[in-house]
Amino acid sequence: MNTTEYNIIVRQWGPHLLRFANRNLNNMDVAKDVVQDAFEVLWKNKDEIQAEKARQYLFTVVFRKGIDVFRKNKNNVAIEEHHYEIGQMAGFEKQISDKEFVKMAMDALPEVQRQLVLLRDLEGYDYKELEAITGLNESQVKVYLFRARKALKETITTMEAL
């Protein structure tokens, strides 16, 4: 991969990665750091990585870095506070769109499940690609996704009922 190809990849997939990281980490500053790190890793290994494989490579790096960040902040109360927000906002459900319910429900998902849903829904990766990015096998991917969808559906149903 040469510099021109690298820059094309940055401009093409940078926004996608930033969206994925931001939705996953729920923090734009941290998301930017993670995306920047991912591109630095890509740049360092540009001689070994083909341009057509770069997208998957980048998402794999961001996925793993996302898990690292999540583990570091495992005891962070941010997620719990968010749950509290959901409870608080229950009375205003009429002003909240389905999209926002989903967004909140996504934050309540376990880390890997959330990332799988994002990769599947936002980036359209198939099971094989998800297998490569996450390191899970296809069955595990499918199971995690099923649990994630079911959890989302139940959370949304619960919030709508409040």
Partner 1 sequence: MKKMIITRDNYETVMFGLLENEYPADVREDILQQIEADTFLKFEWGQWSKATYSEGLETYKHHEAEFIEGLTKKDNKGGFIYRMIIPMSMAAALALFFLVRSGNESSEVVGPTISKNQVNTIEKSNIEAPLELKPEKKTAEDKETGKFISKEKNINNIDVQYEEPVFVEVQNENTETIKPSWKQMVEDTAALMVKTALAQQTEKKSKYKVTVVHETMNGLAYENTEFQEKKYYTMADVMNHKDGISLSKFLSNPRSKVIKDKTTNSTYIEYLADDNSVLVLTISN
Where along the sequence are the contacts to partner 1 (CB under 8 A)? Answer: 3-4, 6-7, 10-11, 14-16, 18-19, 22-23, 32, 35-36, 39, 43, 98-99, 101-103, 105-106, 117-118, 120-122, 145-146, 148-150, 152-153, 156-157
**Shortest distance, position 52 Cβ to partner 1, whole Å:** 19
The least distance separating partner 1 from the CB of residue 134, rounded to whole angstroms, comes to: 16
Of the pair 74, 99, the CB lying nearest partner 1 is at 99
Q: CB of 24 within 8 A of CB of 118?
A: yes
Q: Please report, to the nearest 10 degrees, the dihedral formed by the alpha carbons of residues 66, 70, 76, 80 taken in order.
A: 90
What residue type is 72 in one-letter code? K
**75/97 with CB nearer partner 1:** 97
Q: Which residues have C-beta within 8 Å of that of residue 159, sequence separation ≥ 6? A: 86, 90, 93, 96, 101, 104, 105
Closer residue to partner 1 (CB): 70 or 115: 115
Tokens representing 20 are 């994925």
Tell me the closest approach of the beta carbon of residue 101 to partner 1, in angstroms. Answer: 7
Task: Provide the minimum distance between the beta carbon of 3 and partner 1 in the complex, in angstroms, as a whole number.
Answer: 4
Tokens 């099971």 sit at which residue?
A: 127
Nearest of 90, 99, 94 to residue 23 by alpha carbon: 99
By beta-carbon proximity to partner 1, the closer residue of 61 and 152 is 152
